[in-house]
Structure 1
Amino acid sequence: MASLAGCLTGEEESENTLEVLHGWTGGDGAEAADALFSAFEEEHSDVDLNNKPIGGGGNENLDQTVSTRLNSGDPPSAFAGWPGSNLEQYDGVLGDIQSDVWEEAGLEDAHVEEAVEACQFDDGYSAVPIGSHRMNDLFYNVGVLEDAGVDPESLDDVDALIDALGTIESETDATPLAMSLEAWAILQTWTVVMLSTQGYDAYMSFIEGDGDESAVRDTFETLEELLSNYINDDAASVGFTEVNQDIMSGDAAFIHEGNWVAGAYINEDLEYGEEWDAIRYPGTEDMYGLHIDSFIYPGDNPSPEATATFLRFAGGETAQVAFNQYKGSIPTRSDVSTEEFNDYLTETIEDFEAASEKPPTLAHGLAVDQSTQSSLEDVLNNNFADPFDVDAATAGFMDAI
């Protein structure tokens, strides 16, 4: 029998080829992506899948590739990206999948309100959520803290954390706080420090353009104390995956990251509670720092039917379990069983439901548009990546927002 491809015209073959771009190439992401796309191929063997991973920290290479493809009139079928304000940069080039995906698959009732709202764009829907990361975790190596005599549960504010970092520095050979000085990494740490020291309302006022300069300055002063005294010497030249290796090896005590780093611990079979653990960043115990990953639908789509099939799948339970259990994230569906998730992720799901506040991430497209985020990162690159200029950084942040 002739193959299906041999029976199709070039145009028909192209329409049946699903090209998905994403940035999950290592660490927490590669195994999660493999699980997701393998599950899709198992259910939809009739679709010719061409999944293209594009590496690079903070999705920078992926974003550039997507931008080039969209601007040249050569869109992929779908691409991984952040929803919310991040979608504004694609105004005029996204399609509406409200009818073919959201309504047909019943996604509005299945997903949490925050994810539904984030995927809405231009009076319709242009994205489907695949999972959510929590942005206010402080991960740690259990053995290092035990050697230093630090009780993580006693850390109820940033002053207590700073005291603990000093103790770790004096009592062990480990780096107290593992850190990369990439601009996006500083921005996400600035966010959690502001939430911790200034509170939810001050943070929300800031991202809405009505921030208090003294609150911004206080946040930078606290962050300067942390970054000037307690981070690794090579912070300016390493990425977060490298410094996270120091947590796993016992060469560092704490790291603040989204819980994609938990995906790395899970995939390395490290024992939760025995080798690694996490607390909420001191002062944010009742919050869930909200981050959402999604797949975005370009207009003028090269494979509309195959793409709709994939996006309906991505919003379903099978995909959300397959992906998130390895990614260190949680499903945005509210009806997913926790049976396949480890204790840490099960607790994260419970915390999402119980959180009193869910501040949107500033460093990953939910809180501000891409242009504003880039301006904030430029301020940090120019003024707060060692040396740390509090005055210039404060003025820059106020101007950017």
Structure 2
Amino acid sequence: MRCTYMRFARRVLAAAAVALLAVSGCGSIGKDPGAAEVEVFTWWADGGEKAGLDALVSRFTADCPGQQFENAAVAGGAGVNAKQRLLTRIQRNDPPDTFQVHAGAELDDYIAAGRLQDLTADYDAWGLRQVLPPGLLEGLTVNGKIYSVPANIHRANVVWVNTRVLAEAGITGTPRTLDALLRDLATLRGAGIEAPLAVGRDWTQLMLLEAVLISHLGAESFTRLFTGATDWNSGEVTEALGDYAALLDYSNADRDSRDWPEAERLLVEGRAAFHVMGDWAAPGLDHFTFPGNDGVFQWLADSFVLPTGAANPDGTRCWLRTVASAEGQREFNVRKGSIPARTDVAGTGFSGYQLAAMRDWKSDIPVPSCAHGSACSQDWQNAVNTALGTFSIARYKDIASLREALAAAAAQYIKG
């Protein structure tokens, strides 16, 4: 039996505080003491993420009378702090009613341990199979069951550009192939931009590698790298690693000490011309799909789940239904800057970039991202990041050792 004593105690204390305020005449703190609380654990604590969450909470309050949102957000970019605290709570059998997690393979360990409840029947009841792309549904399905509800979609394979830097170097066109991109980088260096490709550490390097792999392998073979059907020791992968090394040669030497916002700053300040980053960056600069990735939408999704042992499963299901609804996804994503996972959401209020991404999401081939948990587990991602960090520090000359490390990680973590 799951232990809920700690959460029960917190809620008793909260109820007592409300009662004390009422008796003392201090007024309401904005909570309904008669409502059942739904504790929602996220890392959306600031900026557009917090604005999107607030809009989603307003919709939830309207859609789910008798249920009350309890904010358990933990600040920290990409959920670094939140994931550790969440793991601690789950290990002590004190899960929140629901928590934010990247959809896809990042959930594998939770599912294998029986930590999540099956939401397949809810998908059928809410009609989600008719409004989510088949490729996304495939990525969400584990052994015929679905365990998470995506709130949004972000695109990973985007190149952001500083057009002023390009123009000063005499570059006016958009590179459509990796060879063309490498030629532009050589031109930029010749024009005095020493590190024309801005790169950060860890997963940002994995994002760059994945985009290069997609260019060499195509959507289907790239996706199969994470199922074992495509060999990491293949000639195509070796060629891709060669291009990846060539791209790193044009990047900033301090990439292993820069987080992605610091790498982005090189672009904004004109010390770089290109930066491969997801569409959460959107620094007001021009962009294009990574060369050779046309027609491919590399996706990642923030999603919510129903943990085993959740104190308020009925309230959680109502939260999940709100997250899955067309109106909930519109109100959330308009403010966050991502796009709805659903393909039937009206475009009212979305930016030009979002509208273009929504069109691509309907027509492009969706492929998952290991860098953001949709293609591989957290442990697998950590192993790949370690291999890429070693490659970067060693000045990216030993391609054979990198390929062997990537193949070994796949062999260790591919299930079945």
User: How high is the TM-score relative to the length of structure 2?
Assistant: 0.82
Q: Give the 5 Å matches for 1:343-358.
A: 343-355=352-364, 357-358=365-366
Deviations 1:326-384 (A, max 9, x none): 333211112101122111111111112222x3222122222233333332223223333
Aligned twin of 1:374: 382
Aligned twin of 2:29: none
What's the secondary structure of 2:408's corresponding residue? helix
Q: Give the 5 Å matches for 1:166-315.
A: 166-171=186-191, 175-182=195-202, 184-209=203-228, 210-213=230-233, 214-228=235-249, 230-262=250-282, 265=283, 270=284, 276-315=285-324
Q: 1:253 to 1:53 in 2, by over 3 A?
A: farther
**C-alpha separation between the residues in 2 aligned to 1:125 and 1:64?**
24
**C-alpha separation between the residues in 2 aligned to 1:58 and 1:381?**
19
2:172 counterpart letter in structure 1: D
The equivalent position to 1:137 in structure 2, one of 133, 142, 158, is 158
1:394 counterpart letter in structure 2: R
Deviations 1:212-248 (A, max 9, x none): 52222222221112112x2234322121122223334
Q: 1:385 to 1:189 in 2, by over 3 A?
A: farther
Aligned twin of 2:87: 67
Deviations 1:148-196 (A, max 9, x none): 222242x1211111121222233365841121122x2211211101111
Aligned twin of 2:24: none
For residue 84 of structure 1, report the CA deviation from its aligned partner.
2.0
Q: Give the 5 Å matches for 1:358-397.
A: 358-388=366-396, 389-397=398-406
1:362 counterpart letter in structure 2: C
1:18 counterpart letter in structure 2: V
Whether the aligned pair in 2 keeps the contact of 1:144 and 1:172 (CA below 8 Å) is: no
**C-alpha separation between the residues in 1 aligned to 2:55 and 2:393?**
37
**C-alpha separation between the residues in 1 aligned to 2:144 and 2:86?**
23
What's the secondary structure of 2:40's corresponding residue? strand
What's the secondary structure of 1:18's corresponding residue? strand
What's the secondary structure of 2:153's corresponding residue? strand
When the two structures are aligned, how many residues end up with a matched partner? 380
1:196 counterpart letter in structure 2: S
**C-alpha separation between the residues in 2 aligned to 1:6 and 1:94?**
32
For residue 299 of structure 1, report the CA deviation from its aligned partner.
1.0
Aligned twin of 2:167: 146
For residue 43 of structure 1, report the CA deviation from its aligned partner.
5.0
What's the secondary structure of 1:225's corresponding residue? helix
Q: 1:393 to 1:293 in 2, by over 3 A?
A: same
What's the secondary structure of 2:297's corresponding residue? coil
1:33 counterpart letter in structure 2: L
Deviations 1:2-29 (A, max 9, x none): xx956999xx979822222222345663
What's the secondary structure of 1:282's corresponding residue? coil
2:72 counterpart letter in structure 1: K
For residue 283 of structure 1, report the CA deviation from its aligned partner.
0.9
**C-alpha separation between the residues in 1 aligned to 2:331 and 2:273?**
30
Q: 1:174 to 1:140 in 2, by over 3 A?
A: farther
What's the secondary structure of 2:197's corresponding residue? strand
The equivalent position to 2:148 in structure 1, one of 109, 127, 130, is 127
The equivalent position to 2:176 in structure 1, one of 153, 156, 164, is 156
Aligned twin of 1:273: none
Q: 1:58 to 1:360 in 2, by over 3 A?
A: same
Q: Percent identity?
A: 27
Q: 1:7 to 1:117 in 2, by over 3 A?
A: farther
For residue 294 of structure 1, report the CA deviation from its aligned partner.
0.9
**C-alpha separation between the residues in 2 aligned to 1:206 and 1:46?**
46
Deviations 1:257-290 (A, max 9, x none): 121112xx3xxxx4xxxxx111111111121112
Aligned twin of 2:38: 18
For residue 57 of structure 1, report the CA deviation from its aligned partner.
4.5
2:159 counterpart letter in structure 1: L
**C-alpha separation between the residues in 1 aligned to 2:41 and 2:100?**
6
For residue 203 of structure 1, report the CA deviation from its aligned partner.
2.0
2:88 counterpart letter in structure 1: T
Whether the aligned pair in 1 keeps the contact of 2:212 and 2:243 (CA below 8 Å) is: yes
What's the secondary structure of 1:290's corresponding residue? strand
2:119 counterpart letter in structure 1: I
The equivalent position to 1:318 in structure 2, one of 327, 336, 355, is 327
What do you get for the CA RMSD once the two structures are aligned? 2.9
Aligned twin of 2:118: 96
Structure 1: give runs of 5+ residues left out of the alignment.
Answer: 271-275
Deviations 1:93-113 (A, max 9, x none): 1112344x4344332323222
**C-alpha separation between the residues in 2 aligned to 1:14 and 1:385?**
58
Q: 1:108 to 1:385 in 2, by over 3 A?
A: farther
Whether the aligned pair in 2 keeps the contact of 1:84 and 1:117 (CA below 8 Å) is: no
Which is higher, the Rg of structure 1 or of structure 2?
Answer: 2
1:334 counterpart letter in structure 2: T
Farther off after superposition, 121-130 or 88-97: 121-130
**C-alpha separation between the residues in 2 aligned to 1:129 and 1:242?**
29
User: How high is the TM-score relative to the length of structure 1?
Assistant: 0.85
Deviations 1:125-166 (A, max 9, x none): 32111111122211112322222222242x121111112122
Whether the aligned pair in 1 keeps the contact of 2:34 and 2:66 (CA below 8 Å) is: no
What's the secondary structure of 2:79's corresponding residue? helix
Aligned twin of 2:134: 113
Whether the aligned pair in 2 keeps the contact of 1:144 and 1:174 (CA below 8 Å) is: no
What's the secondary structure of 1:399's corresponding residue? helix
Aligned twin of 1:84: 104
Q: 1:72 to 1:6 in 2, by over 3 A?
A: closer
Q: 1:28 to 1:15 in 2, by over 3 A?
A: closer
